[in-house]
Every structure is written in C-alpha cells, then in structure tokens.
Amino acid sequence: MARAAGLADRALDLVMALFEAPINAIERVIGKGRMPYLFLAPNLVLFGIFTFLPIAIAIGYAFTGGADLLISNRPFVGLDNFRKLLACDSYLVPGSCEESLFWTAIWNTLWFVGFNVAATLLVALVTALILNRAIAARGFFRAMFFYPVLLSPVVIGLIWKWFLDRNGLLNAFLQMLGVPPEIFLLDVGWSRFFVVVVSVWFHMGFYTLILLAGLQAIPKDLYEAAAIDAATPSRTLFRITLPLLGPNLLVVLILLMIRSVQIFDEAWVLTNGGGPGTANTFIVQYIYQMAFAGDLRLYGLASAASVLMGLVLLVLTLVQLRLGKKVES
C-alpha cells in the first residue's frame, strides 16, 4: 500500500513538472481571474463536440435525405423523414404504416416499458422494504441483489441465453417436473416475457438501493410514535412509509421509464438482434439498424427517429427534474 502511494506521488510529481511551467505561463498572460475558464475548457470542448454539436447535426440531418455522410451532399427533404415515420392508416396496426418497422418497434417498446416499469418497481419496492427491516445479513443480501447491476449487458445477454437454451438449466428443471422442453427465445410470447425478466434481474438492485436510501431517511421517531399509538402494521405502511416514500417512488418511476425506453444492449444479445422476427425489436434497435446495419445507411430517417425519441425523453426528464425539486423541498 505504502509503495503504491509512493508511486502515485511520483506520478503526480511528474505531471506537475511537465505541465506546471506552460500552465503558469498562461496564468501570467491571462491573469488568475481567468484561470477557471482554462480549467473548464477541456470539459466544455468535449461536451461541445460530442454532445451539443451532435444535437445540432441530428436536427439538421433529420431534414435531409440520401445515404451520403457529408451534409453538403445530402438533399434537403423538409419534413419528408418525419412524414415517412408518421404516415400510418392506423397507429394501432404497424403493418398499415409506411415505415412499419418503426411502429412495430414503438409498440414493442411501449409494451416493454409498461411491464418492465411495473415489475421492476414492485420487486425493488418489496426488496427495499424487507432490507429496511432489522434483518440478519442485511449487507450481504443488499450486495447480492446489487451484483447484476455491475455486469455488462453483453455478458448478461449471453448468461441468460445459455440458461434459457434448449439444453439449458431451465429446461432441465422443467423436465424434472415432467414439462416438455421449450425453446423459449424462439417463441414470441416467452421471448418477450424473458426480456422483461432479464431486465428486472439486471436493474432492480439499482432501484432497490435508491428506495432503500429513501426509506432510511424517514425519521425513526415517526415509527416510535406509531407504535405508542398501537397503529397496525398496515396503517403504518399506508400512513407513514408510503406517503413519505412517495416522492422517491415517483422519481424512481420516471427514471425507470427513461431507461426502459432506451432498452437495447441486453435484449439485442439475448434475442439475437430483436427476434424471433421483430418480436423484440425496440426503438433504439430501429435507429441503429437504419443508420448502421443496413446496406443503405439512412442517416436522415435514423436522425428523425432519434429526434422524436429525444423529445419523449426530454419531457420525461423535465417531469423528473420538477419532481426532484419537490423531493428536496
């Protein structure tokens, strides 16, 4: 440990020796008062190039057509991309839309968001309430539920793909119970079900942690007062715990929605790219396919779809920020 600290010290010394002279020279030229701008510069330049510039480009590209990369070679098409995405006889029937894959993806995403948000919230809330009790080995269980959050989506997709394989462990269990084996990921219903299961499995630990922090912030004397009043457990839950956790729950709900809308990585690996057919093709996958996977790279269409999704996420984020302010006050 001491040696590592010594090494770190020497590394810091080296950087100091290398950069101090030029940075101090700048300081003498621009003055101490302007130094914070210099310190902010790397960060702001990176944000400018890789966040704000792309937003401008996305909006610009959304109004152009063709498959060329250079904006100067791209014909201006006005609202054509948006019209193409939104042209539909009935929004309830993706097949009746001009860009039917887009609407298939939207409906798949909406169903996924609905089930995933409800399931994750329920599981995370129950787990947080249990972990908030004075129960033995609490730290161990909290860590256990949190472990999948750290894993990579590719790894999770592969682990579950193997678990659900025709020769996998789940089918072995089912066979012991006398149920015939099933190729879960080739069945529309089962594959959708397991995309939600895997998503809950992956992320619930994160939301449990946030809810647990909220539960532990509830003053203990409220519970003591309730105990003195001989309040029933259900009364305590509905009159103290849930109302005081309410704002936290709302924030978690919105955060979950924002993240669920963006489902891609683990579902993509698990379902071999959105299968069977297009049963698990979600909106991010649609954008990815239009821009990067097809023979024709439809950047304009993909940008238009990105802009539409960005608007939905922006609304959700603004709602979250408002709620977040309420939680603080």
Partner 1 sequence: MSGNVSAIGFFTRTRRAGRIDITDILSWLWLIGGTLAVLVPVLWAGMSSLKPEAEITRFPPTLLPRTAIQVEVQGFDKPLSLWNVTVDGETREMAMVRRIGLKAQMVDPANPGKPVSVDTRTISPVQRLTVATQNYTDPLTRFSFLTFLKNSVFVTFVATLLTLIVNALAAFALSKYRFRGDKAIFVLIISTLMIPLTVVMVPAYLVIVGVGLVDNLWGVIIPTVASPTGVFLLRQYMLTIPDELIEAARVDAASEFRIFWRIVLPLTAPALAVLAIFSVLWRWNDFLWPLIVLSSRENFTLQVGLNAFQGEFSVQWHYILAMTFLSLIPVTLVFLFLQRYITTGIAGTGMK
* Residues numbered 250-279 forming contacts with partner 1, rule: CB under 8 A: 251, 255, 258, 262, 264-265, 269
Q: Are 146 and 206 in contact (CB under 8 A)?
A: yes
Q: Which residue, 97 or 255, has its beta carbon nearer to partner 1?
A: 255
Q: Does 7 bind partner 1 (CB under 8 A)?
A: no
Q: Does 51 bind partner 1 (CB under 8 A)?
A: yes
Sole window of 78-86, 88-96, 99-107, 161-169 interacting with partner 1 (rule: CB under 8 A): 161-169
Binding mask 76-95 for partner 1 (x = CB under 8 A): --------------------
Q: Which residue, 172 or 188, has its beta carbon nearer to partner 1?
A: 172
Number of neighbours of residue 115 by Cβ within 10 angstroms: 18
Q: Does 236 bind partner 1 (CB under 8 A)?
A: yes
Which of 172, 179, 188, 225 binds partner 1 (CB under 8 A)? It is 172
Sole window of 28-36, 76-84, 97-105, 110-118 interacting with partner 1 (rule: CB under 8 A): 28-36
Binding mask 291-310 for partner 1 (x = CB under 8 A): xx------x--xx--xx-xx
Please list the residues that pair with 217 across neighbouring strands. none
148: preceding bond cis by omega (within 30 degrees)? no
Q: How many amino acids of this chain bind partner 1 (CB under 8 A)?
A: 110
In angstroms, give the least distance from the CB of 221 to partner 1. 12
Q: Which residue, 187 or 265, has its beta carbon nearer to partner 1?
A: 265
Q: Does 14 bind partner 1 (CB under 8 A)?
A: no
Q: Which residue, 2 or 176, has its beta carbon nearer to partner 1?
A: 176
Task: Specify the long-range contacts of residues 93-98, CB closer than 8 Å, at least 24 apart.
Answer: none
Q: Which residue, 84 or 161, has its beta carbon nearer to partner 1?
A: 161
Q: Does 144 bind partner 1 (CB under 8 A)?
A: yes
Which of 44, 79, 87, 179 binds partner 1 (CB under 8 A)? It is 44
In angstroms, give the least distance from the CB of 86 to partner 1. 18
Reduced 3-state DSSP string for 139-178:
HHHHHHHHHHHHCCHHHHHHHHHHHCCCCCHHHHHHHHCC
| Token pair for 47 | 């944000």
Q: Does 230 bind partner 1 (CB under 8 A)?
A: no
Q: Does 241 bind partner 1 (CB under 8 A)?
A: yes
For 177-298, where are the alpha helices, taking DSSP H only?
Answer: 188-216, 220-228, 233-236, 242-261, 265-270, 283-288
- Distance, in Å, from the CA atom of 314 to the CA atom of 175, rounded to the nearest integer, reads 48
Q: Are 263 and 157 in contact (CB under 8 A)?
A: no
DSSP states of 61-98: HTTB-SS-SSGGGSPB-TTHHHHHHH-BS-TT-GGGBT
Sole window of 84-92, 96-104, 107-115, 205-213 interacting with partner 1 (rule: CB under 8 A): 205-213
Helices (H) and strands (E) in the chain, counts: 15, 0
Q: Are 284 and 266 in contact (CB under 8 A)?
A: no
